[in-house]
Structure 1
Amino acid sequence: MMQDGTTGNRSLMLSETFEAPEVVARLIAANADTCRDLGARLRDRPPQFVVTCARGSSDSAATYAKYLFELHLNTIVSSVGPSVTSIYGARPRMRDALFIAISQSGKSPDLLTLATAARDDGALTVAIVNDTASPLAALCDIVLPVHAGAERSVAATKSYIASLAAVLQLGAHWSGDTALIDAVARLPDDLGDALACDWQGLVPLLTDARSLYVIGRGPGLAVAQEAALKLKETSGIHAEAMSAAEMKHGPQRIAGPDFPVVVFSQDDAALDSLAETGAELLARGVPVISAGPATIPGAVVLPTTAGVHPLVQPLTTIQSFYPMAETVSRARGNDPDRPPHLSKVTETR
C-alpha cells in the first residue's frame, strides 16, 4: 500500500484518512459564524474555567483543547471523568464554566449524564460532535458539528482530525488572534501537504515491534496519545503516550534497543526539551524516531510539513501518521477497519 493510497483494495481507514482535508474545509466554512459569535461571547464574559468531557480519541482532542486554551487564553482546563456523575453520582460545581463535550456519536450515557449535570448547574455547554441528531447535540447549548460524514472504519481518522480542527477554530476566534485565524483558513491545504509526507520508511521498524513510547509536549502530546491509541487498536502494539518530562520519572527505565521511542515535536517552547530527551535516549541505545522540527542527530527522521503554525503542526503530524499506521496494521496481518474486540460506537457508563 502506497502512502498516497492509490493502489487497489484500499481500506476504509485509509480512504477516510484521505478525506480529512475536505472534511476540515467543510467544517471551517460551516462553523465560521458560530465560532465567531461564540468567541465574541467568551471574550465578553470569560468563563471561570473550562471542563472537557470525552473518551478515547475524543479525549486526545480534549488534551489539545487543554493546551490551546491554557497557553493562549490563560484559562484553566480540567478533564472531568464522566464516571464521577454516571457511576458515583457526584455533581461537580460547574457554574460559570465552559463545558465542552467531544464525541463522534454523541450517544455514550456517561458523557450525556455529565453534560446534563453541567447544563443544570449553569455552565455554557458546547458539543463537538459528528452526529448532529444525537442526544448530546440536543442537550447542549451550542453545537459545533465536525462534518465528517459517515465514518465506517472502527479506527477514527477524519473525525479525530476534524475534532482538533473544531477546537482550533473555536480557540482562534475566542482569542481573536489573527495569525491563528489565518492558520485555520490554511489548514485544509496544510493537511493535504501532510498526506504527501511519506512515513512508510517507519513500517519495517514497527512491523515486528511489541512495545514503544510516543512522546510529545504541549499540544503535541494530544496527537502522541492518538498515535499510541491507533497503534494499539489497529496493530496490537503496546504503545504508550506520555510527556517527554514524564519519561524522566521512571518510564525511561524500560526503553531500550527493542523498545523504540517516537518523538512528536512542534516549533514552540518545548522544542529544545524534546530534542534533549531524544538525544539522551539515543545515547543509551534506544532507537528514536523523530517526527517534527526537533533536531536529534542519529534519529530516524520522518518528513513533516514546514512553514505551518505551531498549533497546526500536531494536526499535520497525525495526518501524516495515519497512512503509515494503516500499512503497519496490514503488514502485521490485521484488518485496520475491524480490530478484534472493538466496535465503532462505544457506549460507556
Structure 2
Amino acid sequence: MFMEAAEASDAIARMLDRNATVVDQLAARLRAVPPAFVVTCARGSSDHAATFAKYAIEMQLGVVTASASPSIASLYASTPHLAGALYLAISQSGRSPDLIRSASAARAAGAFVVAMVNAEGSPLAAVAEVVIPLHAGTEASVAATKSYVCALAAILDLVARWKHDAGLAHAVSALPELLHAAWRADWSALSAGLTESRNLFVLGRGLGFGVALEAALKLKETCGIHAEAFSTAEVRHGPMALVGPGFPVLAFTQQDESLASTLELVAEFRARGAQVWVASPAGSGRDHLAVPTAPHPACTPVAEIVSFYRAANALALRRGHNPDLPPHLKKVTETL
C-alpha cells in the first residue's frame, strides 16, 4: 500500500500523457452531442470516485449526474430508461459481474457507455464504446490507492477538456508535481492521535465528499476503525448528536464555497471538546493537516487523499494491522 500510493503522482503523469487523444476525442463528442444527463456506476473505492465525478460534472458543466445501483440490472433485471445519457462506469479490475451487466443493459437502453478502468482488457472495457485507461499499473495491495487517485485525475481531465476550461486543464497537468508534495506532507499527528480510537467521523463537502468516503473506507479496512463519512451538511441531520468530548473527527476542506460552512462546523465540534483534525492548504496548529496549495480548488481533494493514504498506512502499522492484507477481503470483489 505504501509503495503503490507513493506511485500515484507518476501514474497520473503517465495516464495524462497516454490518454490525451482519447479524452480530447471524447470531449469533442460530448460537446457536439451533449448528454441529457450522466449516470455513474461503480462499487467500493471506484464509487467514491463516481461521487467525486458527480460534483465535478454538475459544478463545472451543469449536467445532472446520478449514481445507478448495479443491482437494478444485475439482480432485479429491471431495464432503465437511459436514452441520451452518458453512462460512466468506473472500476479497477473491470471484472465485477454486476457492473458488466449494468453497463451492457445501459448500452442496450440507448446510453453512451464510457468506462474508466485500470484493466484495459477487462470484460467491462469490452462493453464500453469508449475506454479511458487509468494506467495505474499493477496494484498488489487489497486496498486500492493509486487506481483511485488516477480515477479522480481522469475525471478532472475529462471535465476540463469537455468544458474547454484552460485554468482547470492547467491545474490537472500540474497534478503530478502537486502529489509529489502531498506525499511528503506530515500527517503524523493524525496517525498518532487515532492509535487507540474505535470510532471516527470523516467529513467533506462538494468535491471533498468523495474523498471523505474513501478515507472512511480505508480506515475501516486497513486500520479496523469504525469510520463513517458524512457531508458537512448532512452530519447536522442527526449524526452530530454523537459528537462530544474526545470524539475524533477528520475534516477535508478545499478553498471553495464550501469552506466557510465546514470551518463553522469544525469550530462547533471543537467547542464541544471533540478532537478535530482539519486538512487544508491554509491553517496552523497541531490539529492542522497541511496540504500543498493547488492551482485549482478541484485538485485539493486529490492531494489530500494522497497525504491521507500515507497516514493511514502508518496508522495501520501502529495498530498492529497489515494494511496490504485486510481480514476477510480480497483484491477483486465479484458481486452479482
Fold match by TM threshold 0.5: yes
RMSD: 1.1
| CA distance in structure 1 between the partners assigned to 2:286 and 2:88 by the alignment | 38
**Deviation digits for residues 65-92 of structure 1, max 9, x if unmatched?**
0000000100000101000111111111
**Deviation digits for residues 216-256 of structure 1, max 9, x if unmatched?**
10000010000000000001100001100111111001122
**Deviation digits for residues 39-89 of structure 1, max 9, x if unmatched?**
111111110000000000000000010000000100000101000111111
| CA distance in structure 1 between the partners assigned to 2:167 and 2:296 by the alignment | 8
- Paired residues of 2:45 and 2:148 also in contact (CA < 8 A): yes
Amino acid at match of 1:251: P
Question: Do structure 1's residue 323 and structure 2's residue 310 form an aligned pair?
Answer: yes
Task: Name the structure 1 match of 2:214.
Answer: 226
Task: Name the structure 2 match of 1:303.
Answer: 290
Amino acid at match of 1:61: A
Amino acid at match of 2:161: H
| CA distance in structure 2 between the partners assigned to 1:298 and 1:161 by the alignment | 28
Amino acid at match of 1:341: H
Question: Following superposition, which runs of at least 4 residues in structure 1 exceed 6 angstroms of deviation?
Answer: none
TM-score, normalized by length of structure 2?
0.98
**5 Å matches for 1:244-255?**
244-255=232-243
Amino acid at match of 2:304: T
- Paired residues of 2:249 and 2:276 also in contact (CA < 8 A): yes
Instruction: Please state whether the residue corresponding to 1:150 is helix, strand or coil.
Output: coil
| CA distance in structure 1 between the partners assigned to 2:18 and 2:333 by the alignment | 27
Task: Name the structure 2 match of 1:109.
Answer: 97
TM-score, normalized by length of structure 1?
0.94
**Deviation digits for residues 246-301 of structure 1, max 9, x if unmatched?**
11111001122242111100011001000000001111111110001476x87710
**Deviation digits for residues 92-119 of structure 1, max 9, x if unmatched?**
1111100000000001011011100111
Q: Which runs of 5+ in 2 are unaligned?
A: none
Task: Name the structure 2 match of 1:5.
Answer: none
**5 Å matches for 1:1-349?**
13-293=1-281, 300-349=287-336
Amino acid at match of 1:178: A
**Deviation digits for residues 118-176 of structure 1, max 9, x if unmatched?**
11111111010000110000110000000011100001111110011111111111111
Instruction: Please state whether the residue corresponding to 2:335 is helix, strand or coil.
Output: coil
| CA distance in structure 2 between the partners assigned to 1:294 and 1:254 by the alignment | 28
| CA distance in structure 2 between the partners assigned to 1:16 and 1:119 by the alignment | 34
- Paired residues of 1:263 and 1:291 also in contact (CA < 8 A): yes
Instruction: Please state whether the residue corresponding to 1:311 is helix, strand or coil.
Output: helix
Amino acid at match of 2:74: S
Identity of aligned residues (%): 52
Amino acid at match of 2:330: S
- Paired residues of 2:281 and 2:290 also in contact (CA < 8 A): no
| CA distance in structure 2 between the partners assigned to 1:107 and 1:240 by the alignment | 27
| CA distance in structure 2 between the partners assigned to 1:107 and 1:254 by the alignment | 39
Instruction: Please state whether the residue corresponding to 1:128 is helix, strand or coil.
Output: strand
| CA distance in structure 2 between the partners assigned to 1:152 and 1:129 by the alignment | 16
| CA distance in structure 2 between the partners assigned to 1:292 and 1:298 by the alignment | 12
Amino acid at match of 2:46: S
| CA distance in structure 2 between the partners assigned to 1:230 and 1:332 by the alignment | 14
Q: Once structures 1 and 2 are overlaid, which stretch shifts more, 210-219 or 285-294?
A: 285-294
Instruction: Please state whether the residue corresponding to 1:23 is helix, strand or coil.
Output: helix
- Paired residues of 2:294 and 2:300 also in contact (CA < 8 A): no
| CA distance in structure 2 between the partners assigned to 1:26 and 1:231 by the alignment | 28
